Amino acid sequence: MNKGLELIADKEIDLEAINDGKFVEAYHEFISLQYLVNGDLLSFEQNVIENLIPALKIDINFSDLGYYYGKLGNVYLELGKYKKSAIMLDKAQKATRQFMILT
């Protein structure tokens, strides 16, 4: 994780200037997982909702959508936000079902 953060800092990445959706998606996945590993659940929530999920929806990546909706549902559960947790876990189930249909 530290090596990845060093590379990002060294390159001074401007996500607005990048047209490669897969790179932006991978970047936000890395940052989200960094927040999760470090226990920064509020930053994880914010990055997943504002950046990662929209990127995954554009790419129609149901597998990763299901994974991150599920992670977000578990984070909400841990934070005691039970209604939001139920909504995210339901979205995770629906995205996973879509993935299974397409494969």
Domains detected in the chain: 2-102 (1.25.40)
Torsions phi, psi for 19 (to 5 deg) = -95, -10
24-68 per-position pLDDT tens digit: 788 889 999 999 999 999 999 999 999 999 999 988 889 999 999
Residues in contact with 29: Cβ distance below 8 Å, sequence separation at least 6, in sequence order: 52, 64
Cα–Cα–Cα angle for 70, 71, 73, nearest 5°?
Answer: 65
Structure pTM? 0.80
Give the span between the Cα atoms of 103 and 98, in whole angstroms.
9
